[in-house]
Structure 1
Amino acid sequence: MITHRLLHPELLAGLAAAGHGSRILVADALYPHSTGAPATAARVHLNLRPGLVAARDVLEVVADTVHIEAAVYMADANGDESEPVREYRAMLGPHRHSGGREVAWAGLERTEFYTACRSPDVCVLVATGETRPYANLLLTIGVP
């Protein structure tokens, strides 16, 4: 019996197949899930209804499962961090999620973010029910 907090079979398989430098996309409900990542990326649909499952809940469990080296967010229309991104940054502070190191953060405007998410190193797209705007986050797996 699995005793870890992450129980979702497809997400476990996707994270287990990923390695250092692989990228995980936590996508909000408005993201183009079918075309916004390479065809080879596993798609994990957790978008049951608007607001369920929230992106922050996915981030919490993913961060408890793998070390996160870097995070890239979709900047809002003004080029700033959205409320969800500020929340994510607080969640991924310099502690165990990054092996005790600071997570490197970067923001990209919308079309640049889409391009980054279509790169071949994106191995998992997690579709959430997150409805807050600009709540997408592209994570790079690091090493302990």
Structure 2
Amino acid sequence: MKKAGILNRHLAGALAELGHGDGVLVCDAGMPIPAGPRVVDLAFRAGVPSFAEVLDGLLAELVVEGATAAQELRGPNRALLEGHFRDLELVPHERLKELSAGARLVVRTGEARPYANVLLRCGVFF
């Protein structure tokens, strides 16, 4: 049994399959899930787990070379993303939904604040 990091076996396994350039959509409970990508649904109740908690856990395990979010994002979740990603790309929410169809993995949180979604682009550690 793992003693640290992401313990959810479905999520840990999905992360291990990612490669350079793969997309990972971390989304709120209301984001439409596109057909195609593998989905790990962590939503339990409204707000649980939060977007911030899940994003922090993912960033501790992934190499990320870029991120895209909706320009409509406001408040603490926007500050969170801007704090993590100096070159955060902002696009209209409708465009983010289109881009999410190309993701390899979708991680759905219980976040109940609107537009708390980010499309991560995996990098390499070397």
User: Would you call these one fold, judging by a TM-score over 0.5?
Assistant: yes
Question: How many residues are treated as equivalent by the alignment?
Answer: 124
Deviation at 1:111, TM superposition (A): 1.2
Q: Which runs of 5+ in 2 are unaligned?
A: none
In the alignment, the residues of structure 1 paired with residue 108 and residue 62 of structure 2 have an alpha-carbon distance, to the nearest angstrom, of 18
In the alignment, the residues of structure 1 paired with residue 122 and residue 4 of structure 2 have an alpha-carbon distance, to the nearest angstrom, of 19
Question: What is the aligned counterpart of 2:96 among 98, 108, 113?
Answer: 113
1:82 aligns with 2:74: yes
In the alignment, the residues of structure 1 paired with residue 79 and residue 49 of structure 2 have an alpha-carbon distance, to the nearest angstrom, of 19
Q: TM-score, normalised by structure 1?
A: 0.80
Alignment match, 1:139: 120
In the alignment, residue 40 of structure 2 is paired with which amino acid? Answer: V
* Corresponding residue SS for 1:104: coil
Q: How large is the RMSD of aligned CA atoms in angstroms? A: 1.4
Question: What is the aligned counterpart of 2:67 among 59, 68, 71?
Answer: 71
Deviation at 1:4, TM superposition (A): 2.6
Identical-residue share of aligned pairs (%): 27
Deviation at 1:104, TM superposition (A): 3.2
* Corresponding residue SS for 1:69: strand
Alignment match, 2:52: 56
The 4+ residue runs of structure 1 with deviation greater than 6 A are none
Alignment match, 1:26: 26
Contact 2:69 2:119 in 1 (8 A): yes
Q: TM-score, normalised by structure 2?
A: 0.91
